[in-house]
Structure 1
Amino acid sequence: MSAIHDPRRDDNSVFPDPVYKETVLRPLFDGAKSHHVDGFRCIDRAHLVMLTETGILDRKQAGAIARALEAIDAEVDVPSLTYTGEVEDFFFLIEKELKRRLGPDLAGRLHTARSRNDIDHTLFKLGLKGRIDALLAKARHLADVLIKVAMREEATLIVAYTHGQPAQPTTFGHYLGAMIEVLLRDIGRLAEAREIVDRSPMGAAAITTSGFPIDRARMAALLGFALPLQNSYSCIAAVDYVTSTYGAIELMFLHLGRPIQDLQFWTSFEVGQVYVPNAFVQISSIMPQKRNPVPIEHLRHLSSQTFGRARAMLDVMHNTPFTDMNDSEGETQAMGYEAFASAARVLDLLAALMAEIRIDGARVRDNIRRSCITVTELADSLVRREGLSFREAHEIAAAVAKAVVAVQGDLAKDGYAAFLKAFSEATKRETAIDAAAFAEMVSPEHFVAVRDRFGGPAPKALQAALQHYRTQLDALTAQATAIAAREAVAAAELINKFQALLGEA
Structure 2
Amino acid sequence: MKERLKNEKAEEVIKYVIEPSIKAELVRSFDNLMYVNKAHLKMIVETEIIDRSIGREILRGLNELIDEGSNNLQIDYNIEELYLNMEKALIEKVGIKAGGILHIGRSRNDLLATVTRMNSRDSIFNILKKINILRNEILIIAKDNVETIISGYTHMQPAEPITLSHYLSALLFAVERDFKRLIATYKQINTSPLGAGSMGSTNFNIDRDMTAEILEFDTVMNNSLDSIASRDYSMEALSSLALYSNNLSRIAQDLYIWSTDEFNYVEVDDSVSIGSSIMPQKKNPVTLEHIKAKAAHVLGAYVSTFSTLKNISYGHSRDTSTESMKYYWDAFHEVESITSLMIATLRNIKFNKSLMRERTLENFTTVTELANTLVRKTDISFRQAHHIVGFMVREMIEEDIDLEQVNSEMVNKYARVVIGEDIIYSDKDVSISLDPEENVYSKTVKGGPAPSEVNRQLDEISNNLEEDNIWLNTQVGRIEKMKMSLDTLQL
Short-chain TM bin:
over 0.9
Q: Tell me whether 368-377 or 80-89 shows the greater mean CA deviation.
A: 80-89
> Contact 2:252–2:292 at 8 Å: present in 1 too?
yes
Matches of 1:289 and 1:409, distance apart in 2: 35
Q: 2:19 matched to which residue of 1?
A: 26
Q: Indicate the residue corresponding to 2:482 in structure 1.
A: 490
1:264 is displaced (CA, Å) by 1.5
- In 2, the alpha carbon distance for the partners of 1:219 and 1:485 equals 18
Which of the residues 214, 230, 251 maps onto 1:238? 230
Q: Which residue of 2 aligns with 1:72?
A: 65
Q: 1:155 aligns with which of 134, 147, 164?
A: 147
Q: Which amino acid aligns with 2:386?
A: H
Aligned-residue offset at 1:128:
0.8
1:132 and 2:124 correspond: yes
Matches within 5 A, 1:8-407: 14-75=7-68, 78-79=70-71, 83-330=75-322, 332-333=324-325, 335-407=327-399
**Which range moves more in the overlay, 464-473 or 283-292?**
283-292
Give the residue type in structure 2 aligned to 1:345: S
Equivalent-residue separation in structure 2 for 1:61 and 1:281 (angstroms): 60
User: Over the residues paired in the alignment, what is the CA RMSD in angstroms?
Assistant: 2.1
1:155 is paired with a residue of what secondary structure?
A: coil
Quote the residue 1:441 is aligned against: 433
1:4 maps to none
Structure 1 residues 292, 414: CA separation in 2 closer, same or farther (over 3 Å shift)?
Answer: farther
**Distance between the aligned counterparts of 1:400 and 1:295, measured in 2?**
43
Q: Deviations 1:190-214 (Å, cap 9, x if unpaired)?
A: 1110111111111111223222221
* Shift, 1:304, TM fit: 2.2
Q: Distance in 2 between matches of 1:365 and 1:30?
A: 56
1:216 CA displacement:
0.8
> Secondary structure in 1 aligned to 2:216?
coil
Kept in 2, the 8 Å contact 1:371–1:405? The answer is no
Cα contact 2:269–2:349 (8 A) shared by 1: yes
**Deviation for aligned residue 1:456:** 0.5
Q: Which moved more, 1:168-177 or 1:208-217?
A: 208-217
1:349-399 Cα offsets, whole Å, 9 max, x none, are: 212222332332333234323321211111100001112100111111112
Q: Determine if contact 2:360/2:366 at 8 Å carries over to the other structure.
A: yes
Against the structure 1 CA distance between its residues 408 and 280, is the aligned structure 2 distance closer, same or farther, given a 3 Å change threshold? farther
- Structure 1 position 473, deviation (Å): 1.6
Rounded Cα–Cα distance in structure 2 between residues aligned with 1:380 and 1:267:
33
8 Å Cα contact 1:309/1:339 also seen in 2? yes
Q: What residue identity is the alignment partner of 1:170?
A: I
Which deviates further from its counterpart, 454-463 or 420-429?
420-429
Q: Aligned residue for 2:405?
A: 413
Summarize the Cα distance change of 1:294–1:462 in structure 2 as closer, same or farther, 3 Å threshold: same
| Aligned partners of 1:372 and 1:411 also within 8 Å | yes
Alpha-carbon offset, residue 403 of structure 1: 2.7
Alpha-carbon deviations, 1:438-475, whole Å to 9, x = none? 11211111111121111010122211111111222222
Post-superposition offset of 1:346: 0.9
Which residue of 2 is the match for residue 432 of structure 1? 424
Q: TM-score, normalised by structure 2?
A: 0.94
Rounded Cα–Cα distance in structure 1 between residues aligned with 2:64 and 2:484: 20
| Greater CA drift, 161-170 or 401-410 | 401-410
Alignment-mate amino acid for residue 315 of structure 2:
T
Shift of 1:316: 2.3
Closer, same or farther in 2 for the Cα pair 1:272/1:370, shift >3 Å? same
What residue ranges of structure 1 are gaps of 5+ in the alignment?
1-10
Q: Does 1:475 align with 2:483?
A: no
Please say if residues 256 and 288 of structure 2, whose CA atoms lie closer than 8 Å, have aligned partners that are also in contact: yes
Query: Is 82-91 or 154-163 further displaced after alignment?
Result: 82-91
Amino acid at match of 2:29: H
AA aligned opposite 1:480: L
1:180 is aligned with what amino acid? Answer: L
Conserved? CA contact 1:369–1:409, under 8 Å: no
The amino acid that maps onto 1:79 is: N
Separation in structure 1 between the aligned mates of residue 340 and residue 397 of structure 2, nearest angstrom = 43
Q: 2: distance between equivalents of 1:428 and 1:14? A: 96
**Structure 2 letter corresponding to 1:167:** A
TM-superposed CA distance for 1:323, in Å, is 1.0
Cα distance, 1:416 vs structure 2: 4.6
Given the superposition, is the C-alpha separation of residues 298 and 416 from structure 1 closer, same or farther in structure 2, using an over 3 Å criterion? farther
Report the Cα offset of residue 151 of structure 1. Answer: 1.5
Aligned equivalents of 2:216, 2:78: Cα separation in 1: 33
Given residue 185 of structure 1, which amino acid in structure 2 is its aligned partner? Answer: R
CA contact (8 A) 1:412 1:440 kept: no
Tell whether the 8 Å contact from 1:158 to 1:364 is kept in structure 2 after alignment: yes
Which residue type is aligned with residue 294 of structure 1?
A: V
Q: Is the 8 A contact 2:441 2:451 kept in 1?
A: yes
The 3 A distance-change label for structure 1 pair 421 and 127 is same
Moved more, 258-267 or 100-109: 100-109
User: Does the 8 Å CA contact 1:401/1:415 hold for their aligned counterparts?
Assistant: no
How far residue 51 of structure 1 moved from its aligned partner, in angstroms, is 0.5
- Report if aligned partners of 1:206, 1:236 keep a CA contact under 8 Å in 2: yes
- More deviation in 192-201 or 80-89? 80-89
* In 2, Cα distance between equivalents of 1:348 and 1:415: 50
Q: Evaluate the alpha carbon distance shift between residue 82 and residue 74 of structure 1 in structure 2; reply closer, same or farther with a 3 A threshold.
A: closer
In the TM superposition, residue 480 of structure 1 has moved relative to its aligned partner by: 1.0
Asked whether the equivalents of residues 247 and 314 of structure 1 are also in contact (C-alpha less than 8 Å), the reply is no
- 1:218-261 deviation line (CA, Å, top 9, x unaligned): 10121222222222221111112211111111111122211211
Q: Residues 460 and 431 (structure 1 numbering): CA distance in 2 closer, same or farther, change over 3 Å?
A: same
Larger relative contact order, structure 1 or 2 (CA cutoff 8 Å, min sep 6): 1
Identify unmatched segments of 5+ residues in structure 2: none
Moved more, 457-466 or 300-309: 300-309
The alignment's TM-score, normalised by the length of structure 1, stands at 0.91
Is the contact between residue 161 and residue 167 of structure 1 (CA under 8 Å) also seen in structure 2?
yes
Write the distance in 1 (CA, Å) between the matches of 2:72 and 2:42: 29
Letter in 2 for 1:367: R
CA separation in 1, counterparts of 2:423 and 2:82? Answer: 85
- 1:427 offset after TM fit, Å? 5.0
Residue aligned with 1:372, SS: coil
Distance 2:274 2:184 in 1: 39
